[in-house]
Structure 1
């Protein structure tokens, strides 16, 4: 039961003394409207007549008359020496009385009174499920994040007096500590040679790509992506008005011959790549093809977005350095996510590019996210400065390598007659090719019956493709065993 002191009567009751309708009638009408709209919940005890009169700055007798009218219509019940309560069943209200007819059914509009263009591009592709087990597209396990250490860093930064002035709305120039530390980290781990002026901090890779697309793309500009590619990024390019053309991806990455053929006949504005581990197939773009891509970009004048997807997760050999490390013509825009191995709330995105583009991108970011997250940036800065991020990455890479190996072992043991795959050199997912006659939607539905969720965004079925991207990073060994068992049993059911 709500306390009458919690109800903001002044926010929804407005009495007009110049109106021909009596004040007590106006009050009764507006209380009825408030009950109908849920502002005054069923069972609520209304304030006493003196208290309500004082709140609304009207005479007590006016309130008494309004309460009597409400009770006579069946909206409230008054109990002597206890108070007045909103009734659960208001069917006793005299619906046909002249008084009731004056009540305005003031509910929030179901639709706008104006036209607007609805997006068919940005329909939410993500699904939810109540299944106990779930395959994802390759995300880290937040359960193994050093939450206690992160909490200490966060608390310490909140308590620092020097940080207080940056927590509110302020135009004060913030210290560049995090950008400097992130520059050092990227230079050391990726072989880059950048300065803070080449770096822009965002909330995510998707935000980074959105800012780049809005800055560089115009209607009908041509954007090249791999086939298959990351659906969310494609949606961003389409929303910006671009035309998307896909080129094949094989065991060495995108087909550079196809890219060159397009260059000969069409003007390319942008090429989007995840060369370290192509999304979704996990293949690495070979060094030879990287060199060709850079040469084509310089020759034909198109920008390259190099998304360093999963760069921190490599298990077998030293990874190829990003294309941005040998981009001497300023063609590559390098994007990524720092802290991906941490819990999602402790990650941030970044863009590396020549200074003139960073300045232009900053203009849009200032409008979208002027304040940023100063405290989180300081936490991440501390993680780099004190070496915690390096220690945790080393530990997490070992764990995820073990999970990669165990998931590969289970699939090979239990499903070898249905599936074929290569063990990736890094990343948090396996690209699995299945027998052509397997209907992946039927498989999804059968798995769901056994409490295993296979999101549609992981399923790739076309005339020449039957594949599933299976993330292993977020699963323990027992969860992997149960998931693969359900996959096997579901396959046997639908065959």
Structure 2
């Protein structure tokens, strides 16, 4: 007889019922081979006495294992481990030292291009990546619109499976909004709703890129876009970015030397430097796309916030040959938690993206998509954009004044024409990763600059998001930044 009192450890200090604990532990003994196939188990009274528990607890555990097929009952003979179970294979030393909650027993390839730290929205004082202030979001109006979804129309239709293209109501409202504000000439058939820009980039890269294809982007760019291209098997090549945006002459030279499948660009406010692509370069870029046949992937991540007159219309507004794929989202316009984005393209591509989306994410969030569509229809979203634009303009001017007066000798920047962040370049002797660590110890979150340089390079510039902080919070943040940058005992300020 096995020493069940030693092998089985039951406790009342957990919410798991005793019979479940007993069933699970007996099952583990069977799977490990400690209890062999065909072995007779002690009667319920005997095992209950050994474990000092109620007999009914043992009966319930045995019944559970019988239902799962681990045990079999023979009338008049007792309860046995099922005969059909295979004999456990001897475990190697390697398998014995593996922690199965950490490492699987099989191998898999870890992709180096995916090993990029994920930066979450920080709490407290911050210079983030350029996020909106969620405190300004029309949350009450959105909540009301969200609740109305359950009272509108057919319940079976609204809470069942939905269109892989996205909610038709939001597609209609977005098409109208984009036509009015961005000069596009599209209909709902040209719009695919996604769970943010990242999903749109992933779908497009998986659809348009094949192993060995070339995607071209700026020398400094959004890492996530490059990661998606690499995930699709494409090669990522870069061209310089200067004070006027992407160097299209360098792009033309590259296209003359080899085929290019796609060009990823953020022309309105280049990520991360915030510069706007000059008008002549925009025209040349469209001409090159038509000449060489590459897709222009335009990421217009913060079009709604431009402070110097009217925003420059996107490349997609001047596209007459179907070369531009245009993406955007509510993430930068409202708040990152609202995972609603969109892809705009010829309907044939939109349909193919929807087919691919089906095997990744069957559909989005119809209730949320409907609610956001309502905010567009009622004009609430436009009112939010106007209010947020005024607020962010004031915060841009305030941070520019603070940095100019407090840190003029330590960093330089150009006040951005739009967007939610500025691009600051520190003096060469500042160790930005160390600076970020010291700032964090004092309650200020800011970038180390490492995401914007190649491995092994020393960063000198960072994005400093200002929109998510009030003017008082910006003042506190700059005070901490000044302290860690200029302090006489600050190691971050010396090599």
Q: TM range, normalised to the smaller chain?
A: 0.7 to 0.9
Among 451, 467, 470, which residue is 1:476 paired with? 470
Q: Structure 1: how far apart are the matches of 2:367 and 2:258?
A: 46
Q: 1:237 to 1:477 in 2, by over 3 A?
A: same
Deviation at 1:52, TM superposition (A): 4.6
Equivalent residues in 2 for 1:147-296, closer than 5 Å: 147-169=139-161, 176-296=168-288
Q: 1:268 to 1:252 in 2, by over 3 A?
A: same
- Give 2:38's aligned residue: 19
Asked if structure 1 preserves the Cα contact closer than 8 Å seen for 2:167 and 2:369, the reply is no
Equivalent residues in 2 for 1:353-364, closer than 5 Å: 353-364=345-356
Among 365, 372, 394, which residue is 1:373 paired with? 365
Q: 1:412 to 1:175 in 2, by over 3 A?
A: closer
Q: Structure 2: how far apart are the matches of 1:258 and 1:488?
A: 39
- Give 2:399's aligned residue: 407
2:488 equivalent to 1:467? no
Asked if structure 1 preserves the Cα contact closer than 8 Å seen for 2:47 and 2:58, the reply is no
Q: Structure 2: how far apart are the matches of 1:107 and 1:52?
A: 30
Q: Structure 2: how far apart are the matches of 1:474 and 1:341?
A: 12
- Give 1:68's aligned residue: none
SS at match of 2:240: strand
Among 300, 315, 334, which residue is 1:308 paired with? 300
Note the alpha carbon deviations across 1:429-453, whole angstroms, 9 max, x for none: 0011221222212212221232222
Q: Structure 1: how far apart are the matches of 2:335 and 2:180?
A: 23
SS at match of 1:223: strand
2:446 equivalent to 1:454? yes
Q: Structure 2: how far apart are the matches of 1:340 and 1:127?
A: 15
Q: 1:386 to 1:114 in 2, by over 3 A?
A: same
- Give 2:390's aligned residue: 398
Number of residue pairs the alignment of both structures matches: 436
2:111 equivalent to 1:119? yes
Among 315, 318, 322, which residue is 2:310 paired with? 318
Note the alpha carbon deviations across 1:267-309, whole angstroms, 9 max, x for none: 1111000001000000011111100000011001111001112
SS at match of 2:469: coil
Q: Structure 2: how far apart are the matches of 1:237 and 1:362?
A: 19
Asked if structure 1 preserves the Cα contact closer than 8 Å seen for 2:19 and 2:61, the reply is no
Asked if structure 2 preserves the Cα contact closer than 8 Å seen for 1:330 and 1:353, the reply is yes
Q: TM-score, normalised by structure 1?
A: 0.80
2:479 equivalent to 1:485? yes
Q: Structure 2: how far apart are the matches of 1:439 and 1:128?
A: 22
Q: 1:350 to 1:438 in 2, by over 3 A?
A: same
Q: 1:459 to 1:404 in 2, by over 3 A?
A: farther
Asked if structure 2 preserves the Cα contact closer than 8 Å seen for 1:336 and 1:351, the reply is yes
- Give 2:435's aligned residue: 443
Structure 1 portions without partners, runs of 5+: 33-45, 59-103
SS at match of 2:337: helix
Note the alpha carbon deviations across 1:184-233, whole angstroms, 9 max, x for none: 11111111000111111111111101111111111121111012111111
Q: TM-score, normalised by structure 2?
A: 0.80
Among 50, 56, 60, which residue is 2:56 paired with? 50
Asked if structure 1 preserves the Cα contact closer than 8 Å seen for 2:164 and 2:362, the reply is no
Structure 2 portions without partners, runs of 5+: 1-12, 65-95
